[in-house]
Amino acid sequence: MSDLQLPTQENVEYMIETIKTKLRMASGAAMQASNFSIERYEDIKDLYDHVASKDKFSISEVEALVSELGKLRK
């Protein structure tokens, strides 16, 4: 894994894929990592850090996180 402090498109894609996997998103295919811009890197990183820090999520948490993820799309 590369340094996530560096805002690269590869890091954006890694973080999005990790978030999708961790949230077990049924509609994960709709959230293509390429639909996220490096311009939103800090917001994506914040969301990634939050998701990575937890092991379990309630349904309402998953819904809120997926909603936030949707707002970060291009």
Percent of the chain with pLDDT over 90: 59
Single-letter amino acid code for the residue at 3: D
Mean pLDDT calculated for residue range 41-47: 96
With cut-offs at 50, 70 and 90, classify the pLDDT of residue 32: confident
What's the pLDDT score for residue 1?
Answer: 55
Q: How far is CA 29 from CA 17, 53, 54, 58, in A?
A: 10, 23, 23, 21
Cα(13)–Cα(59) distance, integer angstroms: 24
Mean of the pLDDT values across residues 50-62?
93
Q: What is the pLDDT of residue 40?
A: 94
